[in-house]
Amino acid sequence: MSETTYQRLKDLPAYHILGTGTPMCAGCGGLATLHEVYDILGEKCVIVNAAGCMTLLSVYPCTPFRGSWLYTAMACAPAGAQGVRDGLDILKKKGRLSQEEDLEVVVLTGDGSAYGMGLSATSGAMDRELDFLYLCYDNEGYGNTGQQFSAATPHAARTATSKGSLGYPGYKKDLFAIWAAHRPSYVATVVAAEPLDLARKIEAAGKLSGPRLILALSPCPTGWEYEPSATVEIGKLAVQTGIWPLKEYVDGKVTHTKIPHPRLPVREYLKAQGRFHHLFAPRENRGLIAEIQARVDRYWQEVL
Chain residues in the site for other proteins (CB under 8 A): 42-46, 48, 55-56, 58-60, 63, 65-73, 75-76, 78-84, 86-91, 94, 96, 101, 103, 120-121, 123-124, 127-128
Contacts of 240 (CB under 8 A, 6+ apart): 260, 263, 264, 268, 269
CB of 169 to other proteins, least distance (A): 30
Nearer residue to other proteins within complex by CB, 44 or 286: 44
Nearer residue to other proteins within complex by CB, 16 or 256: 16
Nearer residue to other proteins within complex by CB, 130 or 288: 130
CB of 48 to other proteins, least distance (A): 7
CB of 73 to other proteins, least distance (A): 6
Enumerate the H helices of the chain as residue ranges.
Answer: 29-41, 77-93, 111, 119-127, 175-181, 195-207, 221-224, 231-240, 266-271, 286-303
CB of 75 to other proteins, least distance (A): 6
Nearer residue to other proteins within complex by CB, 44 or 277: 44
CB 60 within 8 A of CB 83: no
CB of 91 to other proteins, least distance (A): 6
CB 248 within 8 A of CB 201: yes
At residue 213, the 3 state secondary structure works out as strand
Q: What is the largest CA-CA distance in the chain?
A: 68
Length of the chain counted residue by residue: 304
Nearer residue to other proteins within complex by CB, 122 or 185: 122
CB 108 within 8 A of CB 138: no
